[in-house]
Amino acid sequence: MSEVPIRCTGIAVVILKKVDDQYKVLLVKRAESVLEDVWCYIGGGIEEGEKAWEAAYREVEEETGITNMFLYSANTFDRIYSIEGNYVYIAPVFVGFVPDDQEVALNEEHNDYSWLSFEDAKGIVSLPGNEEVLAFIEKHFVKKEAPDYLQVRR
């Protein structure tokens, strides 16, 4: 019997800020050949010797310039099946809360960004499954208070 392996080599981060009493989601538009013009939240690989939460902080800083963030484990995962590689890719999702005046400085991986309502963000994310992740985060981290026990403490 043949098995489809599971690979967990990356992370995803949904960044939120409160604007006029409503949380906004940061989406970025990919500029590189892989997933070009796709709107998504932050994602990236875990480097050798790095914990997943450390990769989340690093990727957010590299891709957006954001360093002031309260990070939580979302306790959910991005999942995709690789047709070419015949494996299931799974990535832990994190939620990052940033101040309402947070600026964004994109790196070369992205050519645009937008702070959107959850409804708008769910409408433009391109990868199937991303809208479910956003709905999960809205339910558990916005409509309810973020659980303290899921906060990443550096």
Q: What mean pLDDT is predicted for residues 91-100?
A: 97
126 falls within a domain: yes
Q: Flag whether 1 is in a domain.
A: no
Please write the tens of the pLDDT for every residue from 102-123: 999 999 999 999 999 999 999 9
Would you say residue 93 lies in a domain?
A: yes
Distances (CA, A) of 8 to 93, 118, 123: 12, 27, 27
Residue 125 lies inside a defined structural domain of this protein: yes
The three-state secondary structure class of 107 is: coil
Q: Determine the structural domain holding residue 95 and report its residue range.
A: 6-150
In a domain, 26, yes or no: yes
Residue 140 CA to residue 138 CA, distance in Å, equals 6
| pLDDT at 19 (0 to 100) | 92
Q: Does the pLDDT of residue 16 top 80, yes or no?
A: yes
* pLDDT score of 33 more than 80: no
**Inside any domain, residue 19:** yes
The answer to whether the CB of 16 falls within 8 A of the CB of 71 is no
36: pLDDT strictly greater than 90: no
Task: Determine what percent of the chain is predicted with pLDDT higher than 90.
Answer: 90
Task: Compare 32 and 76 and report the one with higher pLDDT.
Answer: 76
If DSSP codes are grouped into helix, strand and coil, which group holds residue 38?
A: coil
Structurally, the chain folds into a number of domains equal to 1
CATH number at residue 93: 3.90.79.10
**Which residues is 26 bridged to in the sheet?**
115
